[in-house]
Amino acid sequence: MYSFKHATISILVLLITSFLTINSNAQIAEKKLDNLVEETLKTFDVPGISVGILKDGKIVYAKGHGVRSLTNKKDMNENTLVGIASNSKGFTCFALAMMVDAGKLNWDDKVRKHIPEFQLYDAWVTEQFTVRDLVTHRSGMGLGAGDLMFFPEGNDFHVADVINNVKYLKPETSFRSKFAYNNNMFIIAGEVLKRVSGLSWEEFIETKIMKPVGMSNSKASYNRVTNSTNIIDAHTRAEGKVIQIPHDWSETANPAGGIMSNVNDMLTWANFLMNDAVTKNGTRLLSETQFHELWQLQTPLPVRKGDAYNSNFKGYGLGWFLTDVKGGYKQVYHTGGLLGTVTQFTMIPDLDLAIIVLTNQMNGSAFNTVTNTIKDAYLGYEDRNWIGKLGTNNTKFLKYNDSLKTVIYNKVEVAKKDMSLPKPGQIVGTYKDNWFGNIIITNDGTSYRIKCERSSKLVGQLFPYNQTTYVAKWDNRSFDADVFVQFSFNEEGNATGATMKYIAPITDFSFDFGDLNLKKVN
C-alpha cells in the first residue's frame, strides 16, 4: 500500500540525496569561472591570477588569467611561480610534526631546550614558552611585532638577530590570552627545525616534503629558483596606479613565508593533505596522530555575528586557520601576502574540495571573490555576487585611504610655513630603538631626510605636520606606509625621543613602526 508515511519518507530521501548531490558535485561551469576571474582582474586591477580546484582527488580546474608581468606581458598560467607567502607556515608545522614523529621534538618542549639563548621580554614567559607557542600566534606580543627585522627586503637582520632582539618586544596582552599574528616566532620555529634535524629549513622542506609529495616545480625560497622563465613580477598600487615592483622578501623569514610555488604544485599539496598525508605512491610522511594534531584548534578567534558562512567557531591550529562553514563542514585554510602579491589556499576535507588562488597584486578582495564564489557553488549557495560586494567595498576603502593622505599632506603644506616649528638643531640626530637599531634624521639647510640604518630601503623625506609631529614620506612609494613621527622634547626644547604611527589603515601590518621606542643618542 502506498501510504502517506511512505510518501513522506520517499520525499525526505529524495531531498537528502539532492542535498548531497549539490554539495558533492556542484561546480561552476568552466566558461562562467573563466569570466569570473577575468572580471576579477578588471575590478581589482590585478595583472594576473591563477586558480586551481581539486575535487574528489581530481583537478577540475587549473588555469592562469591575465599576465604574469606588466613589463613582459607574458600570460599567467597554472605553472607560473608565485610567492605563496604565509601559506608556507603549513609546511613549517608539517616539518616540525615530522620531527615529533622521529622522536627528536615534542610540541610542548620549551623553546630554550633547543635554543638556549632564546629570551622574551618577560622572564617567566621565556621559561614557559613552547614550540607549540611559536606557531600558534599567542605570544602576547602585538600584531606583526618585530616584522621590520625582515620587512621590507634590504635589511641586514639575520636569524640570530631575531632570536636576540625579540626580548625587547614588549607584550600587549598576557601570554596565551589572545591571538596576534606573529612572523618572527615562525622564523624561530625554523631555527628549531634546523637544530633538531641537522638540515636548513630550506633543505628540509625541499627534500623531505616537496620532493616526496611531488611538488616538482616548487622551491623553498625565491633565491633557490633556478628556472625563472615562468615566474611573476610583483605589482602594487602606488599613488593611485598599479605598478610593477621588485620581488620583496628577506631570506631570513623563509619559515614564515618564503616558498615559491604554482597552482599545479599547490593542488598536489592539497591532494596529499586531504589523502591523510599519504603520497601518490602510498608513502605516509606523517603519522595519523601528528597529522590530526595539525588541524586541531590551538588559539581561538571570535566569529563575527552574521558570519557569511554561518560559522560556529574559528581559530588557529598548527600553521593553519580553522573554521566551519555551512552546516558544520570543517574548513582548513590560510592566506599569504608579500609586497606585490597575495595568495589563498582553502580546503574543505569533508567535501574533498580544495581551492587555490595565486595573484601578482596585493589585493585580498580579489582572491576572496574567486574563492568564495567557487566555494559557494559547492556548498549550494545561490549566487551572492561576491565580485559586486567586495568590489564596492574595495573602491570605498581605497577612496577612504586616499582621502586621509590628501588631508594629511594638505596640512603638511600649511605646516611648512609655520615659523614656530622646531629648528633643525632641535631634532636632527640619531635615534636608537633596542631591536630595530638606529634611525638617522638629517637636514641640509632646506629639507629633512630620514634613514633607517639597518633597513636600506626605508629612506625618505621628513615633513612638518605640527610643532611636535612630522610625517615620514618614504622614497619608495610602493610601500604605502608613510608614518607620523611624534617627537618628545625636554625642557630646553630639544628632542629626546620619538614614536611612529602609520597615517592610513591600508599600510601593511608588517611595517611595524608602532612598536619602535626611539631614544635620541646623539
Residue in this structure with the C-alpha cell 615562525, named with its chain if needed:
186
Cα radius of gyration rounded to whole Å, the chain: 25
Confidence of residue 28 (pLDDT cuts 50, 70, 90): confident
Domain assignment of residue 408, yes or no: yes
394 is a domain residue: no
For residue 471, what are the β-bridge partners? 463, 484
The 8-class DSSP code of residue 240 comes to: T
pTM assigned to the model: 0.93
Residue 339: what are its φ and ψ, rounded to 5°? -65, 110
The DSSP code for 199 is: S
Place 5 in a pLDDT band, splitting at 50, 70 and 90: very low
In a domain, 4, yes or no: no
Last residue of a domain, one of 333, 358, 384: 384
pLDDT band at residue 9 under the 50/70/90 scheme: very low
Claim to verify: residue 315 and residue 438 sit in the same structural domain: no
The C-alpha atoms of residue 441 and residue 461 are separated, in whole angstroms, by: 9
| Percent of the chain whose predicted confidence (pLDDT) is above 70 | 95
User: Do 138 and 49 have their domain in common?
Assistant: yes
Average pLDDT (220-227) is 96
217 and 334: one domain?
A: yes
Q: Which residues of 115-140 are buried (b: 16+ CB within 10 A; e: fewer)?
A: beebbbebeebbeebbbbbbbbbbbb
Structure confidence at residue 6 (pLDDT): 32
- Which element (helix H / strand E) includes 266? helix 263-274
Closest CA to 409 of 348, 461, 452: 461
Write the single-letter amino acid at 39.
E
In this structure, is residue 2 part of a structural domain? no
Q: Which of 358, 384, 410 is the last residue of a domain?
A: 384
Average pLDDT rounded to a whole number, residues 379-392 = 96
**179 and 295 in one domain?**
yes
The answer to whether residues 373 and 26 touch, using CB atoms and an 8 Å cutoff, is no
379 and 415 both lie in a single domain:
no
Q: How confident is the model at residue 121 (pLDDT cuts 50, 70, 90)?
A: very high
Q: Do residue 319 and residue 198 come from a single domain?
A: yes
> Which domain range does residue 470 map to?
400-520
Which of 335, 356, 384 is the last residue in one of the domains? 384
**Half-sphere exposure for 303 (CA within 13 Å, toward CB):** 14
Asked whether residue 306 falls in the same domain as residue 407, the answer is no
Q: For residue 7, what pLDDT is reported?
A: 32
Q: Is residue 228 part of a domain?
A: no
Do 64 and 166 lie in one domain? The reply is yes
pLDDT tens digits, one per residue of 161-203: 999 999 999 999 999 999 999 999 999 999 999 999 999 999 9
Contact between 347 and 331 under an 8 Å Cβ cutoff? The reply is: yes
pLDDT exceeds cutoff 50 at 23 = no
CATH number, domain at 413?
Answer: 2.40.128.50
CATH classification of the domain holding 172: 3.40.710.10
In a domain? residue 3: no
| 368 shares a domain with 471 | no
Let me know if residue 390 belongs to a domain: no
- CB crowding 489-522: b at 16 or more within 10 Å, else e: eeeeeebebbbbebbbebbbbbbbbbbbbbebee
Whether 208 and 167 have beta carbons less than 8 Å apart is answered as no
How many domains, in total, are found in the chain? 2
- All 3 cell numbers of residue 14? 529524495
CA distance 137 to 33: 35
Which grid cell sits at 241?
A: 596606479
- What integer pLDDT is reported at residue 20 of this predicted model? 34
CA 217 to chain centre: 22
Reported in sequence order, the residue ranges of 309-447 that DSSP labels E, i.e. its strands, are: 314-316, 321-325, 329-338, 341-348, 353-359, 429-433, 437-443
Identify whether residues 331 and 435 lie together within a single domain: no
Could you read off the pLDDT of 447-485 as tens digits, one per residue? 999 999 999 999 999 999 999 999 999 999 999 999 999
The string of DSSP codes covering 370-381 is HHHHHHHHHHTP
* Residues 307 and 437 both lie in one domain: no
Q: Residues 389, 392, 397, 398: is their CA dihedral positive or negative?
A: positive
Same domain, 58 and 188: yes
Model pLDDT, residue 27: 80
Q: Is residue 195 part of a domain?
A: yes
User: pLDDT tens digit string along 488-516?
Assistant: 999 999 999 999 999 999 999 999 999 99
